[in-house]
Amino acid sequence: MEVRSTVGVGSREDLSMAYTPGVARVCTAIAEQPELARHYTWIPNVVAVVTDGTAVLGLGDIGPAAAMPVMEGKAVLFKSFGGVDAVPICLDTTDVEEIIETVARLAPSFGGINLEDISAPRCFEIEDRLKERLDIPVFHDDQHGTAVVALAALQNALKLTGRDPATTRVVISGAGAAGVAVAKILLEAGIRDLAVTDRKGVLHSSRGDLTPVKRALAVLTADQTGRSGSLADVLEGADVYIGVSGGTVPEEDVARMAPESIIFGLANPDPEVHPDVAHKYARIVATGRSDFPNQINNVLAFPGIFRGAFDVHATAITEGMKLAAATALADLVGDDLSEELIVPSPFDPRVGPAVSGAVAEAARRDGVARL
């Protein structure tokens, strides 16, 4: 990574414009009209990629220093796939209050905040409180990037198998950051029969061990259908399995799913259901890996989402913007839709513009656009 100027500084005149005395004119103008910072600085095109290093990839809590390579990689993807500048920031604290306060104090230097690899359940509170406090987009990609791409893939998988979201039975294993976000976006998209499981089984309100986040999700999911029990119990007859938990689902449980089922095993590097096993029973299989078809890759979503939000100077990223991003991704597949192609390639040059355009339009509809 590097930072480069967009203009040359090759003469005394250039220097006087880039720094003193010319730069003072810009400072004075912004002091008088703070909103001019969105026009005369890099702020409207730069995102802070912020982590505390507690949930890095599949590596877990490896700390802020070891997390830096992932944050740098994220910044490179922002630039390569969305034309968005990004600065990786690794915080040497895991305290919720300290993280919120630090990010809030840094916020005037950025057009948006991308939270990354912060462990659950702290990530939920951090994101929610920063969204309340700041007037720029705040987005936890481990939650919402995964959810957007998973929904896009599921929309196309349902189309291929002739299923209606309202009557499709879905099981999600994993109630961490990604699992909660995937569940919420599926509900927004019309899924009605949804069970979410953690290590102790289905989330339902009669359980006394649920966190506030899990309890709220239980009310929206299993409490509506009356489902309970273990993952194996709810997989029987299920149309869709989405794994965001790690671990392994026994083959005998997979075999009890509905005919022409859909299996997304998204844990990396080892999917909850290996594709070789999944293909014995499922019509459509997706993973988080690049060496199998149908990779559910967040890079399909987050660069375009921020690009679209920045293009209209959005104050937030709404549920409508996320749904629009998912639909735009699903629609890009078009006539190429098949069991081996339910989401576009990250290298499809249409992805970024399609997602950003849909997100910008949704931001205007939802009333969060300033342009």
Q: Is 223 annotated as a binding residue?
A: no
**Is position 276 annotated in a ligand binding site?**
no
Name the residue among 155, 163, 80, 75 with its Cα closest to residue 114: 75
Instruction: Please report, for residues 113, 114, 279, the alpha-carbon distance to residue 126 in angstroms, rounded to integers and kept in the order given.
Output: 12, 12, 39
Cα 186 from Cα 91, distance rounded (Å): 32
117 is in an annotated binding site: yes
Residue 328, φ and ψ in degrees, nearest 5: -60, -40
Contact 331, 300 (CB under 8 A): no
Q: Which of 272, 279, 271, 283 is nearest to 239 (CA)?
A: 283
Q: What does each C-alpha distance from 22 to 15, 19, 109, 280 come to in angstroms?
A: 9, 6, 21, 68
- The bridge status of strand 193-198 relative to strand 201-202 is antiparallel
CA atoms within 13 A on the CB side of 68: 7
| Secondary structure (3-state) at 327 | helix
Tell me whether residue 7 is exposed, middle or buried, using C-beta atoms within 10 angstroms of its C-beta: 0 to 12, 13 to 18, 19 or more.
Answer: exposed
Mind telling me the catalytic residues?
Answer: 19, 74
Tokens of 70: 């992932």
Q: Is 141 annotated as a binding residue?
A: no
Spatial strand order in the sheet of 282-287: 201-202, 193-198, 169-173, 240-243, 261-265, 282-287
Rg (CA), the chain: 22
268 is in an annotated binding site: yes
Of 45, 43, 94, 46, nearest to 67 (Cα)?
94
Binding-site entries for (S)-malate: 268, 297
Binding-site entries: 116-117, 142, 268, 297
Binding-site entries for a divalent metal cation: 116-117, 142
